[in-house]
């Protein structure tokens, strides 16, 4: 999980308890699906989709990975799936998860929204 970038120091948007919940949700998502889920929280350079895709390509196993990129300050959310992950998660699945996350974000719950989205993506991806 990443907050901000190396050139700009920002306060972590999550409490310790939220970070622990996010870590548990990510580990559960990985182990139950066999895919690798990652979360990036920070600014996304324009165009945001291309930036999220670049971040996704930098992951250790992008073909089996799903990246949730969230920029609260810019009000942006991107979900990027690798080739193998896309066989189990359709664009529709990602859009449904994104809608749920955006609703939670609108209520001020960044961590809860990410966890909710992860849970929905895991449900759609199924078991490994």
Flag whether pLDDT at 29 surpasses 50. yes
Cis peptide before 66 (omega within 30 of 0): no
Whole-number pLDDT of residue 12: 79
Q: How would DSSP label each residue in 21-62?
A: HHHHHHHHHHHHHSSEEEEEES--PSSHHHHHHHHHHTSSSG
Measured distance CA(90)–CA(58) in Å, rounded: 22
**Bigger pLDDT: 88 vs 3:** 88
Domain count, the chain: 1
The CATH number of residue 110's host domain is 3.10.310.50
Q: What percent of the chain has pLDDT over 70?
A: 91
Q: Which domain range does residue 62 map to?
A: 2-125
pLDDT digits (tens, 9 = 90+) for 36-81: 999 999 999 999 999 999 999 999 999 999 999 999 999 999 999 9
């Amino acid at each position: 999980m990443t907050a901000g970038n190396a050139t700009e120091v920002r306060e972590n948007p999550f409490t310790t308890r939220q970070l622990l919940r996010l870590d548990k949700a990510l580990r559960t998502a990985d182990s139950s699906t066999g895919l690798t889920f990652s979360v990036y929280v920070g600014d996304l350079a324009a165009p945001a989709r291309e930036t999220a895709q670049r971040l996704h390509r930098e992951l250790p196993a992008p073909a089996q990975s799903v990246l949730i990129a969230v920029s609260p300050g810019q009000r942006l959310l991107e979900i990027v799936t690798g080739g193998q992950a896309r066989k189990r998660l359709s664009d529709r699945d990602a859009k449904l998860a994104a809608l749920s996350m955006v609703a939670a974000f609108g209520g001020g719950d960044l961590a809860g929204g990410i966890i909710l989205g992860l849970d929905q993506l895991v449900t759609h991806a199924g078991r490994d």
